[in-house]
Structure 1
Amino acid sequence: MTLVADPPTLPPSEDDGRGDPRPYVVIGGGPAGLSAGYLLAKAGRKVIVLEAEDQVGGLAKTVVDPDGYRFDLGGHRFFTKNQEVNDLWLEIMGDEFLLRPRMSRIFWRGKYLDYPLKGTDVIKKLGPVELALCGMSYLWAAVKPKGKEDTFEQWVSNRFGKRLFNHFFKSYTEKVWGVSTSELRADWAAQRIKNLSFFSAAKAAFMGNKGNKITSLIDKFQYPRYGPGQMWEMMTNRIEEMGGEVRLNSPATKLVVEDGRVTRIETPQGVIEPRGTISSLPLRHMVGIVDGGAPAEVQAAAQGLRYRDFLTVALVLDGQDLFPDNWIYIHEPDVRVGRIQNYRSWSPWMVPDPDTACVGLEYFAFKGDDLWTMDDDKLIELAKTELKQLGLAEPEQVRRGYVVRVPLAYPMYDETYAERVAAIRGWLDPLKDFVQVGRNGLHRYNNSDHSMLSAMRAVDNIVLGEQHDIWAVNVESAYHEEETDADVKQPYTRVPDTVYEREPLVSEA
């Protein structure tokens, strides 16, 4: 029988001047984790940030190919109504933070509709006949009895008309969530679209969106010169300059809980005894690496948490940019791509060769489905074919392609997620000096700014002794930047099966 020795215990850290030489440990080097590490280091605390991958940034990292092309995975707009977060961005980035114009359009029936909507463009692209039909469909929806409003399809059709629903809501929504709009809940639609009524959209189309009052139609945003990854790389440098550590390729593989607190964190490099722990691990993962196991009901709750995954096929092409937009939404049901990024439009420094274009075709998937398991060469061929099908480029223009898979990209709000999260939280909350933060850490579909805000409030609790409820930090969806305390509602009426249910909990550790 082979005996496996315990990992070595790492040497104790220097005293932070407050009588305790142990470090604070932050698990995860994404926006939330790095923000926590930075603010702890700035406050004079000894801090170690553990990142499982060889690059910081998590879901918001920037991938760089050998020739210097930079790929933003998902398109990360830096816009926030929270002044603290904006001040932190500027503190880190300084002059490297660019103010960029937003330009995006909807691809529909072979035409490009400006988004935010412009009245003359809508009239021109729809044409008088289709405009009249959509108008009549809307008026009929406005005057007829609403009837049942259980589903996304019913709710949107009742407010915009069936024709506008079929044109502008159905196909894209189904690509994102992986189920029919007749199987998405009405309260999800109410939350996602509540601030964009037909009349407010029409008013913005003809009179402009003054003051950015319609928050899904913001026309400017900030962006790091070399992509969002530059933010996290600069933050890492600042942490290290202040005496903290950011350890790459260093996942937390086991959490030892004793007497109501995390006393040991095991990593491939050794064991750390933390003074306090801030974790941005997915809840499912975090529960799975607890030594001895969490209570059975907590493990069962974590086992059932599921995710919508995502992949980007980045293509480098000969010639000029395929379109001037930052991104275009693809409402065509005949192609599987949901959105296409134009990286140069986000920042010219993303594309080093002015004689080439670089785009990212985004596909939404479930881990284990045909898209997720398709090999890279076939995915690149699919992307080339769909570019041609959309009339954007010929396959022979493509020099090369890259595929980047992003697991656990979107926490799924299914019919049981709320009770599962509540069960896990009930076990976590009593743990002393342990806090979950961030998108996957809270299983909430939030933007980078609200991930960072959750980390800021966690540090306030640790450093200042404040009592913020981290789970109540505003974590509104990626579609809006509103200041609201509204809870996220589950979209699904029928929950799609995913591979996560069939994987042992500890397999993700």
Structure 2
Amino acid sequence: MTEANRPALNVPSLDVDVAIIGAGPAGLTAGYLLTKAGKSVAIIEKDATYVGGISRTVEHEGYRFDIGGHRFFSKSQQVVDLWNEILPDDFIERPRMSRIYYEGKFYSYPLRAFEALRNLGLWRSTMCMASYLWVRAFPNRNVKSFEDWTTNQFGKKLYSIFFKTYTEKVWGMPCDEMSADWAAQRIKGLSLMGAVVDGLKRSLGLNKKPNDGMQAKTLLESFRYPRQGPGMMWEAARDKIIASGKGQVIMGHGLEQLASDGEGGWRMSAIAKDGSKIVVNAAHAISSAPMRELGARLHPLPETSWNGSNLRYRDFLTVALMVEGEDLFPDNWIYIHDSKVKVGRVQNFRSWSPEMIPDAEMACVGLEYFCFEGDGLWSMDDADLIALATTEMKVLGLLDPKKVKGGAVVRQEKAYPVYDEDYAANVAAMRGELEAKYPTLHLVGRNGMHRYNNQDHAMMTAMLTVENILAGQRVYDIWCVNEDAEYHEAGDEGADKALPARESVTSDQAAALNSMRDVPTRIVEDGESDADKRRAA
């Protein structure tokens, strides 16, 4: 036994079949399915209070907050069945509504160009059309950036209103530094001229189709949702794991080290804020921890640990305001396309579920601020953030500050893996070395795989990993699981019945779960070196 693997004195130790890092959707899905199959598991979670990761529900004085908004919809029948199995009696059906807010008016989401022109008024619409006609006559022939591409499609005026502000808030990158490829993928099927012609036809009674110039997929009109938030799902999964007698969920303990025992097994040490530790010995290890953190805590240290250290994340925080009076708007959330405020999105928690709010005479809204950990917003005191949120809601005209009766702040680290121009190579290097050296180490979930996927896709990676562990070999390639940008908005629940084909992506479900999510990448100039790109990132 090496020194790194030698248990410390007076440190409690567990022996299980599988050690799991992280009690989010992926980790808890794996733990639940493994214990059902008779395997023993120990799950460590650095949060001392909540399970569910970014899908947790935070409670403050009886008010419940969904961190980021999680519609329960999946094309995978296996995921839907698992949701129903874990939480059979607590789903409610909720209407879907999301809109864009700009200068006191609401716009459909996805954007309908003719409606947008109508809401903007005669003068501004005329300026938008003039700007559009100008770029059609004199387009930019050297399109490189998101700004170039979007301006060419819609004109400078519409670009600045409906694309620039929100995009830069979310990703923390100037639009003129984002690749045009992302814009081309993200903004599909919206034709401004088609919208104008369509609108004129409808005004004359010649066209009854609700297309509005946009060839869009049919959106969900409603979705299922746990009556007290998504945290209900993961609390139920935790309780079932513990009740099985085969699993433990160790809260308030973050990963200190994951060490190979040299014989295919693992020794995982976890540490609490007070310095207390626990050691878990296991034949397999499943990690949903951010790949950057895992790479730094593995022993022996991977040769590609520097690749992991270069992976980047976008963080955000939610400021919840308790407001006296009726609901302020019917939307689940509103996208804020307004440069006068820093908030990027506003949630209405009662529209997710009335049971999120303990008082029928109160409303509760959540303002989401996209930021990087450690920057000015992230580092503000909670009281200052609550004051900022209150002021910004007044600026937007969405509430009377006098009716705000309280507030709370929730910070979410590493909410979005960043897809910069080097991320794919960094992930591939880490994945390649870990798979070659450690076949009993399994990466799952959004941060574990550095993949910007949804809750159901994180679950699917765990489901397939469990199948691999039970089979004693890699039967399924979990890296086939991902999502496209419109997946969460369209299609039929449970439409895909089968598991992905073994070591392939030929089945209907694999196709539904496999394509790169739309995320912005930075422009790479011709002749730019790798070192230059890393410095710019």
Give TM-score scaled by structure 2 length. 0.82
1:417 is matched with 423
Write out per-residue CA displacement over residues 160-212 of structure 1, whole angstroms, 9 at most, x where no aligned residue: 333321221110001001121101111222333346665898989974489x9
1:251 aligns with 2:245: no
Q: Is the 8 A contact 2:220 2:489 kept in 1?
A: no
Out of 470, 476, 484, the residue aligned to residue 463 of structure 1 is 470
1:357 is matched with 363
Q: Is the 8 A contact 2:335 2:346 kept in 1?
A: yes
Query: 1:137 offset after TM fit, Å?
Result: 4.4
Out of 443, 449, 455, the residue aligned to residue 450 of structure 2 is 443
Distance 1:457 1:200 in 2: 44
Q: Identify which range, 212-221 or 107-116, moves more after superposition.
A: 212-221
Q: Is the 8 A contact 1:192 1:479 kept in 2?
A: no
1:120–1:95 distance in 2 versus 1, CA, 3 Å: farther
Q: Is the 8 A contact 2:386 2:409 kept in 1?
A: yes
Out of 138, 150, 153, the residue aligned to residue 159 of structure 1 is 153
Query: 1:480 offset after TM fit, Å?
Result: 4.7
2:499 is matched with none
Gaps of 5+ in 1: 13-21, 496-500, 503-509
1:139–1:479 distance in 2 versus 1, CA, 3 Å: farther
Distance 1:114 1:288 in 2: 44
The sequence identity of aligned pairs, in percent, is 48
Query: 1:493 offset after TM fit, Å?
Result: 3.2
Out of 232, 236, 239, the residue aligned to residue 237 of structure 1 is 239
**What letter is aligned with 2:290?**
P
Q: Identify which range, 167-176 or 484-493, moves more after superposition.
A: 484-493
Aligned with 1:400: secondary structure?
strand
1:63 is matched with 58
Distance 1:470 1:252 in 2: 23
Q: Is the 8 A contact 2:44 2:253 kept in 1?
A: yes
1:472 is matched with 480
1:52 aligns with 2:52: no
Out of 306, 309, 320, the residue aligned to residue 314 of structure 1 is 320
Aligned with 1:253: secondary structure?
strand
1:493 is matched with 523
Write out per-residue CA displacement over residues 486-509 of structure 1, whole angstroms, 9 at most, x where no aligned residue: 3356522389xxxxx99xxxxxxx
**What letter is aligned with 2:257?**
K
2:82 is matched with 88
CA RMSD in angstroms comes to: 3.0
Distance 1:461 1:143 in 2: 57
1:266 is matched with 269
Distance 2:31 2:189 in 1: 35
Q: Is the 8 A contact 2:24 2:55 kept in 1?
A: yes
1:191 aligns with 2:185: yes
1:218–1:133 distance in 2 versus 1, CA, 3 Å: farther
Distance 2:357 2:293 in 1: 36
Equivalent positions of 1:98-117 (< 5 A) are 98-117=92-111
**What letter is aligned with 1:284?**
R
Equivalent positions of 1:241-390 (< 5 A) are 241-243=243-245, 244-259=247-262, 261-268=264-271, 269-295=277-303, 298-390=304-396
Query: 1:429 offset after TM fit, Å?
Result: 0.9
Q: Is the 8 A contact 2:113 2:190 kept in 1?
A: no
Q: Identify which range, 167-176 or 46-55, moves more after superposition.
A: 46-55
1:383–1:396 distance in 2 versus 1, CA, 3 Å: same
1:223 is matched with 225
Aligned with 1:252: secondary structure?
strand
**What letter is aligned with 1:462?**
I
Aligned with 1:273: secondary structure?
strand
Out of 419, 428, 435, the residue aligned to residue 434 of structure 2 is 428
Write out per-residue CA displacement over residues 98-153 of structure 1, whole angstroms, 9 at most, x where no aligned residue: 22111122111221223345688546422344445444544555566562232111
Distance 1:189 1:123 in 2: 21
1:322–1:90 distance in 2 versus 1, CA, 3 Å: same
Distance 1:137 1:220 in 2: 37
Out of 36, 43, 48, the residue aligned to residue 42 of structure 1 is 36
1:459–1:321 distance in 2 versus 1, CA, 3 Å: same
1:18 is matched with none
Query: 1:62 offset after TM fit, Å?
Result: 0.6
Aligned with 2:69: secondary structure?
coil
Distance 2:415 2:227 in 1: 24
Distance 1:429 1:56 in 2: 28
2:493 is matched with none
**What letter is aligned with 1:37?**
G
Distance 2:513 2:150 in 1: 22
Aligned with 2:58: secondary structure?
strand
Distance 1:11 1:60 in 2: 28
Out of 392, 395, 404, the residue aligned to residue 398 of structure 2 is 392
1:454–1:193 distance in 2 versus 1, CA, 3 Å: farther
1:506 is matched with none
Gaps of 5+ in 2: 1-6, 203-207, 272-276, 491-511, 526-533
Aligned length: 481
**What letter is aligned with 1:229?**
G
**What letter is aligned with 1:239?**
I
Q: Is the 8 A contact 2:14 2:279 kept in 1?
A: no
Query: 1:479 offset after TM fit, Å?
Result: 7.9
1:32 aligns with 2:31: no
Q: Is the 8 A contact 2:131 2:155 kept in 1?
A: yes
**What letter is aligned with 1:251?**
G
**What letter is aligned with 2:282?**
P
Give TM-score scaled by structure 1 length. 0.86
Write out per-residue CA displacement over residues 384-435 of structure 1, whole angstroms, 9 at most, x where no aligned residue: 1101101112222111111111111111111221111111112211212111
Distance 2:88 2:187 in 1: 34
